[in-house]
Every structure is written in structure tokens, then in C-alpha cells.
């Protein structure tokens, strides 16, 4: 079993670097996984986080309210994840 496929955190989600696609993060909650792309610029302490994730091989439908709510929460959790590492996050 992949080490990332064990139980979710006590808060019900996990975040990790995607080992298969460069500059992407995986966010997993009880309803599935999103893949967010990130960029780095000249400032090594800043991350640019794309607001529109993919789910598998397709982009998510942000018109769906429940999906939009999950994406918004994922973005907030990803921002916190990076900020806890001393990085600033700009939404792209």
C-alpha cells in the first residue's frame, strides 16, 4: 500500500507532493482527491497556487456548490500547509 493511502489525518484530510507530476500537490479528503498546480518565482519564499484543481484527468466543476466548497476548503488548508513551512502563498 502507498504510504499516502493510509488513514486521513484526524481533521479528515491529507496534503502531499505529487511524486508523479512536477509542481503539483495532492489534497485528499473523505470525498476524494484534488491535484493543485503550484509555481515558484524568483522569491524562494513564495508559492503561487492555482485555484482550479483537477480531479483525476479532468478539471473540477466549480459551478457545483458542494465541489466549490470542497475546493475553497482545500485551498485554505494548502495555504496553511505552506505558511507553516515559512512560505507566503499567492493565489493564481
List phi, psi (to 5°) of 31.
-105, -5
What's the predicted TM-score (pTM) here?
0.86
Distance between CA 71 and CA 42 in Å, rounded? Answer: 27
Predicted pLDDT at 2? 43
In tens digits, the chain (92 residues) has pLDDT values of 344 445 667 788 999 999 988 899 999 999 999 999 999 989 989 999 999 999 988 999 999 999 999 999 999 999 999 999 999 999 98
Distance between CA 63 and CA 16 in Å, rounded? Answer: 26
The x, y and z cell numbers of residue 87, run together, are 512560505
Amino acid at each position: 500500500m502507498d504510504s499516502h493511502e493510509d488513514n486521513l489525518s484526524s481533521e479528515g484530510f491529507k496534503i502531499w507532493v505529487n511524486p508523479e507530476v512536477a509542481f503539483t500537490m495532492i489534497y485528499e479528503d473523505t470525498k476524494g482527491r484534488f491535484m493543485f498546480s503550484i509555481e515558484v518565482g524568483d522569491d524562494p519564499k513564495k508559492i503561487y497556487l492555482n485555484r482550479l484543481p483537477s480531479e483525476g484527468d479532468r478539471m473540477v466543476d466549480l459551478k457545483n456548490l458542494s465541489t466549490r466548497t470542497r475546493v475553497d476548503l482545500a485551498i485554505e488548508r494548502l495555504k496553511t500547509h505552506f505558511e507553516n513551512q515559512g512560505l507566503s502563498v499567492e493565489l493564481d
